[in-house]
Homo-oligomer: A and B are copies of this chain.
Amino acid sequence: MSHTTSVMKLRTHPTAPFDLLTHGLSGPARTRITALLHRNARRYTAGSDIVREGDNTVPFFWVLDGWVALNKSLEDGHVQTIDIILPSDVITPAAWERSISTFDVHALTDITVSALPLTDLDSLELADPPHVWASIRNLSAAARARIAERVLRLGQGSAEMRVAYVLTELYLRISALDDDQNMNFHLPLTQQQIGEFAGLSSVHVCRTLRRLSRGGLIDTNDHLNITIKDLDGLVSIAGIELNRLKAEILPSETQA
């Protein structure tokens, strides 16, 4: 499995997923939730679809390890990635009271996810209501904010802006998981998949990456490993106001 290296890398990060997942929770609640997540953990291999659009599904999954794409597709086969989910993020394929997924849940790497039945969540809720729901709202709000940023560029931005934005967003999110990235990060996506995320053909993703590379903004010599050589330049092309973006798309450090 070609993505194994990436998975291993993530799993040995200094800040383990569980820590982030239960971030801001008090001791007892954290212990309880961690145990629950472990009990319901499942592994899937890269390339598999955990859920397909229209399938029945549990209301949400927590991603413990690996990268997940939320995809929708047209009849002609074109695929659009609505969002990419990283470890410690939550996936809510269906509305709470409903059970039909509104998108495909696709494993970009080997992944570990925990599928929590609503009954279990309810018992957690009774035990420690504010923290669990606050955490979910917090993650959902960050997801909403980054989707909105992408919609803006999908509707109004150039290819260069979209690619620069996607790279910057993913770099920021990965850095929040592990701040030792040092302008370098592993991107377990083919150019085809970057295109599905940015709304571009794989051919044009290639051309755009090369242009950014030739312009000295990034380094893609080691495939799947991106080095950001000029963050300010990339941010400028992406039309990003860096501090604002960080505040909006990263789950906040402090709970209310």
What is A's interface to B at a CB cutoff of 8 Å?
Answer: 54, 72-75, 78-80, 82, 92, 94-98, 100, 102-103, 134, 137-138, 140-142, 144-145, 147-157, 196, 198-199, 239, 244, 247-248, 252, 254-256
Contact = CB atoms under 8 A, between A and B. Distances in A.
Given A95-B142, A96-B256, A156-B199, 4 more contacts: A80-B155, A82-B148, A96-B141, A155-B196
A80 B151 contact: yes
B95 A252 contact: yes
23 contacts: A54-B244, A72-B148, A72-B152, A73-B156, A74-B156, A74-B157, A78-B157, A79-B156, A80-B152, A95-B137, A95-B142, A95-B144, A95-B252, A96-B138, A96-B256, A97-B255, A98-B141, A100-B248, A102-B248, A147-B147, A154-B154, A154-B155, A155-B198
A247 B140 CA distance: 21
B154 A199 contact: yes
Given A82-B151, A151-B150, A247 B156 contact: no
Contacts of A54: 244
Contact of A134 (B96, B100, B138, B244): B96
